[in-house]
Structure 1
Amino acid sequence: MSNAPRPVNSFAIARTGEVVCLTQTKTLLRDSPCRHRWELSSSQEKEWVISQLEQSLPGDGEAHVFLRQRAALMADEMLENALFAAPRDSHGKPIYRKGEKRVLLPGECITFCSLYDGHTLALEVTDTWGRLTSETVRAFLDMNLAGEDTKEHRSGRGLYFMWCFLKDFYLSVVPGVETTIGGLLQLNTAR
């Protein structure tokens, strides 16, 4: 077994849609001591994690309610991708259908993290599939931007929503080992 470092493909998607390679792995939350962290063992825990995230965001005003709504939407998209889009067989076909109940496979791990400083909310999900590539992300963004497919459940829509909503949207992939997706939401107090 080699001790050589595994290749890591870290990239961000600029507002223009172009893929920007990052020189180092960008994971905001992995080593942060002030974060919330939830590990899922089944798809049935997704709603619980989202409710825990919402409860972790203090504040009563309209801006805080809107932040919780956006956080819930992003968490749902991030967890759906980790639960249903990432798991693929050796031919690249999805193993699970979106929305079905499933227990994580032995060795599979999905971790969702958040960190809120009172103005900026960082969100990050990590799965142990490592299948996402910058080319795939770019193709999904292009397809969704062009509106090529009118199906309600168009492929890549979750990644497209993340790109639209999250500031500093980033991905870090260790091929065949791990995918991390994250970004930031701002508390918008301006009227």
Structure 2
Amino acid sequence: MISVLVVHGDRKTQRMLGRAITSGFGPAVLCDDLETAMAAVNGRTYAVVTAELAAHPNLPALVAALRAGGGDLLLCGEIGPPEVAALLRAHAIDHVVTTDPIASADELPLTLRTLARPDGLDSRGVERYLGYDVHLTELSPESTHGRITVLSAIRDGLAAMGIAARHERHAALIADELLANAIHDAPHGPDPALRDSVRDVDRPLAGRDRPRLRWGADGRMLAIEVTDQFGSLDAATIRTHLAKLADRSTRPRQGNGGAGLGLAMAFLAATQLVFHLCPGRFTQAIGLIDLRSRPDGGRTLVPSLHIFTERGRAIDGC
């Protein structure tokens, strides 16, 4: 039995969030504070906690209680860069929803459905974020410098669809950086001494070394997915590098080592950045751009982040 808690001191906000996530889960349990939420944790429980409670001293205890039962915490609301950095570092939060309320009405239930799947994570990727029967374009570089050809094809496709130039720029940046990580860093894992140190030399890609990129758009969302067949990226690495960018206390390293500047730049270019991690088998990174968003000045400073990790359950294709 899966239960969902909504934690916020304002009843109107509770009801709004509760209605957004009710589909597929039954009525959400509405809680005024973290203490009430702690008492309501029962087995596999997921809690949607609003940003006002992000710094509450009882938040770590709630996260621990949720994860002990196989659940997790989703933090949502207007959260600034320093707060996000602290959450990623101190509490290892894997789900931060910073989109506006209209977008959250889509994002929250989809995230909960992915977490609650009885057979584990779903590796279908971008299909989960786009409308039914949207055409997806699949591309795969034949060499390390083949990224240039892939990016050119994406730009041409977006231009043919009439996608705004600023969204086109963000999409190209996300695709380039995620492909770079998949090509140069994924094969060698966390050991910087083994990573590809000669990136300016073109070399062929074949078999397991050749990542796959898929992209599509439905007028609401533009989605770019990059999958490698190594599964060497872990949640702790993602959180570490994104926390550095969020609080601007440390510049991500610009040399070899992966998941540094490239991952951080992809994060800033997206509306949401989603990872499906299957250790030793594959890493799937998805950058989502909300085509309904206002001009650049109206964007949230920190995009939403979701990290789904296989924890001993079967995954399609894993």
TM > 0.5 between the two? yes
Local SS of the residue matching 1:173: strand
Q: In the alignment, residue 140 of structure 1 is paired with which amino acid?
A: H
> What letter is aligned with 2:170?
R
Higher helix proportion: 2
Residue number in structure 2 paired with 1:100: 201
- Amino acid in structure 2 at the alignment position of 1:171: F
Alpha-carbon RMSD across the aligned residues, in angstroms, is: 3.2
State the 1:123 CA deviation: 0.5
Verify: 1:159 aligned to 2:263, yes or no.
yes
Match of 2:222 in 1: 121
Structure possessing the higher radius of gyration over alpha carbons: 2
Q: Say if 1:119 and 1:127 are closer, same or farther in 2 by CA, change over 3 A.
A: same
- Match of 1:28, SS? helix
Deviation digits for residues 17-42 of structure 1 (CA, Å, limit 9, x no counterpart): 53139523362249966200012221
The residue number in structure 1 matching 2:250 is 148
Aligned pair in 2 of structure 1 residues 151, 29: CA closer, same or farther (>3 Å)?
same
The alpha-carbon deviation at position 70 of structure 1 amounts to 1.2
1:171 aligns with 2:275: yes
Match of 1:183 in 2: 287
User: Does 2:179 match 1:87?
Assistant: no
Aligned ranges 1:11-30 → 2 under 5 Å: 16=84, 17=88, 18-20=93-95, 23=115, 24-25=121-122, 27-29=125-127
Amino acid at match of 1:102: R
TM-score (norm 2): 0.48
SS in 1 for 2:171: helix
- Helix, strand or coil for the counterpart of 2:219? coil
Which whole-Å CA distance do the structure 2 matches of 1:85 and 1:100 have between them?
A: 15
**Whole-angstrom distance in 2 between the partners of 1:186 and 1:55:** 19
Unaligned 5+ residue runs, structure 1?
1-11
Q: After TM superposition, give the deviation of residue 187 of structure 1 in Å.
A: 2.8
SS of corresponding position for 1:132: coil
Aligned residue pair count? 178
> Where in structure 2 are there 5+ consecutive unaligned residues?
1-73, 96-110, 116-120, 296-318
Match of 1:69 among 169, 176, 179: 169
Match among 212, 217, 224 for residue 111 of structure 1: 212
Change (3 A) 1:188 1:173: same
By how many angstroms is 1:133 displaced? 0.7
Distance 2:192 2:225 in 1: 24
Q: Distance in 1 between matches of 2:166 and 2:291?
A: 8
Shift of 1:143: 2.5
2:56 is matched with: none
**What is the one-letter code of the residue matched to 1:81?**
N
Following superposition, the deviation at residue 181 of structure 1 comes to: 0.1
